Amino acid sequence: MNLHEYQAKQLLATRGVQIPKGSVCYDGLEALIAARALGSEKVVLKAQVHTGGRGKAGGVAVVSAKDDIRSKASEIIGRKLVTYQTGPDGKPVSALLVEEFLPIDQEMYLGVVLDRNTGRVTIMASAEGGVEIETLARESPEKIVTVGVDPLRGLTPFQARNLAYRLTQNKVLAQQMTKIATVLYDIFVGFDCSLAEINPLVVSGDRVLALDAKLNLDENGLFRHPELELLRDRSQEDQLELSANKDGLSYIKLTGNIGCIVNGAGLAMATLDLIALHGGSPANFLDVGGGASEQGVADAMNILLDDKRVKAVFINIFGGILRCDVLARGVIRALNERGVALPIVARVEGTNIEEGRELFEKSGLPIDMIPSLDEAAKLVVAKAKSFNKES
């Protein structure tokens, strides 16, 4: 679960991190009133969407207070913002943050992540910020300072100070940066984040402020912070993932064109690997779980088929508790209701396989039953490719 910029900044502010003055608005009139209240010559209008790269996509506008703020704000609110992270559909702008415009002397980067190689929470910082950290890491990795944190000791004052002085020699600024790094680390750990980032962290005169902030929460830890659920904005989340989760399915959308129905997370991962190995690209991860019902399987099939990019379907089920005949009935029901013409490859084994196979054969649906997992993966990749060419 992600938070909006304004929510993340408010959280930082409650712990003493300086942020620009501003307020969140939902229409043009509110934005105009907010801009007037700021009393600054220029204001910044910032689209509140769960994505980075808003600046480049037109989601951040610096405007003069004399401009027609009402209409400028209305142009941003309600539109969909397409950034390098959103995909072609973009994300709806939920709200607008109206902030005072600050003169910026320097843009820096500060982020807290889990480094999977060292298994430690790691702070990354750079005296050059504003751009995406991925770009910085690729183009000038030497400019990134990293500090691995011992899980028992936490971030020590020495480490925080050392980090700050590697970014600046100015004592007044370094003191503020030390504090900000400590706060960001505490928030990361305290709220079970997967990412806590301030980009840019700016120097404006003798102040250091969080100009942008991003907090991504690990949903597995959300039960420990029920109050954060109030900050959830479902309009920003993938609608297919939401409806799948409601049906009790583990579904994660990916970027390819082969829809996958699998039971068990391990088998699902192996299936994605095999598809990739044969040169294909999966459209999703979907674990229907061991105890899926006929309706559950049909729901899973429908969610797959709602994804317009899907050009072929791969059913890879090892029937244990989920019986193959139940699976077949669910798949056939969904396909008959929708009248789908996509190629389908099924590799199904396990409990009641004879009955399942018979149901598939009698259904008259264009399903290739392939007993070998490897052969099945190869075939579905080929089918997706040729279907792509035809359509």
3-class SS shares of the chain: helix, strand, coil, % to 5:
40, 25, 30
Q: Which is nearer to Mn ion, 99 or 212 (CB)?
A: 212
- Amino acid at the residue 9: K
Q: Which is nearer to ligand GDP, 55 or 221 (CB)?
A: 55
- Nearest distance from residue 131's CB to ligand GDP, in Å? 8
- Nearest distance from residue 16's CB to ligand GDP, in Å? 20
Residue 241 in marked binding region: no
- Residues that bind Mn ion (rule: CB under 5 A) add up to a total of 2
Q: Which is nearer to Mn ion, 199 or 236 (CB)?
A: 199
Q: Edge-to-edge strand order for the sheet containing 258-262?
A: 250-253, 284-287, 258-262, 312-319, 344-350, 367-369
Per CB under 5 A, the segment of 17-25, 41-49, 193-201, 323-331 that binds Mn ion is 193-201
- Nearest distance from residue 18's CB to ligand GDP, in Å? 13
Residue 217 in marked binding region: no
Q: Which is nearer to ligand GDP, 12 or 335 (CB)?
A: 12
In sign, the C-alpha dihedral spanning 349, 355, 361, 366 is negative
CA distances from 69 to 19, 60, 286, 320, 363 (A): 22, 13, 45, 62, 61
The upper half-sphere exposure of residue 50, i.e. CA atoms within 13 Å in the direction of its Cβ, equals: 14
- Nearest distance from residue 5's CB to Mn ion, in Å? 8
In sign, the C-alpha dihedral spanning 317, 319, 322, 327 is positive
Per DSSP, the residues of 41-76 read SEEEEEEE-S-S-TTTTT-EEEEETTS-HHHHHHHH
Residue 46 in marked binding region: yes
- Nearest distance from residue 154's CB to ligand GDP, in Å? 28
Rule CB under 6 A: which residues touch ligand GDP? 20, 44, 46, 52-55, 60, 101-102, 104, 107, 130, 199-200, 211-212
- The number of beta carbons lying within 10 Å of the beta carbon of residue 356 is 25
Terminal C-alpha separation, the chain: 36
Contact in structure between 198 and 213 (CB atoms under 8 Å): yes
Binds 44: which of Mn ion, ligand GDP, none (CB < 5-8 Å by kind): ligand GDP
Give the dihedral of Cα atoms 217, 220, 226, 228; nearest 10 deg. 10
Q: Edge-to-edge strand order for the sheet containing 42-48?
A: 22-25, 95-100, 42-48, 60-64
- Nearest distance from residue 106's CB to Mn ion, in Å? 15
Binder of Mn ion out of 30, 197, 212, 294 (CB under 5 A): 212
| Per-residue contact flags (x/-) with Mn ion for residues 84 to 103, judged by CB under 5 A | --------------------
- Rg of the chain, C-alpha, whole Å: 25
Residue 354 in marked binding region: no
Binds 104: which of Mn ion, ligand GDP, none (CB < 5-8 Å by kind): ligand GDP
Binds 296: which of ligand GDP, Mn ion, none (CB < 5-8 Å by kind): none
Eight-state DSSP code of residue 15: T
Binds 248: which of ligand GDP, Mn ion, none (CB < 5-8 Å by kind): none
Residue 107 in marked binding region: yes
Residue 72 in marked binding region: no
> Is 199 near Mn ion (CB under 5 A)?
yes
- What does DSSP say about strands 344-350 and 312-319: parallel, antiparallel, or unpaired? parallel
Which active-site residues does the annotation give?
A: 109, 197
What are the binding residues for ATP? 46, 53-55, 99, 102, 107
Contacting residues toward Mn ion, per CB under 5 A: 199, 212
Which residues participate in the annotated binding site for substrate?
263, 320-322
Show binding-site residues: 46, 53-55, 99, 102, 107, 199, 212, 263, 320-322
Per the annotation, binding residues for Mg(2+) are 199, 212
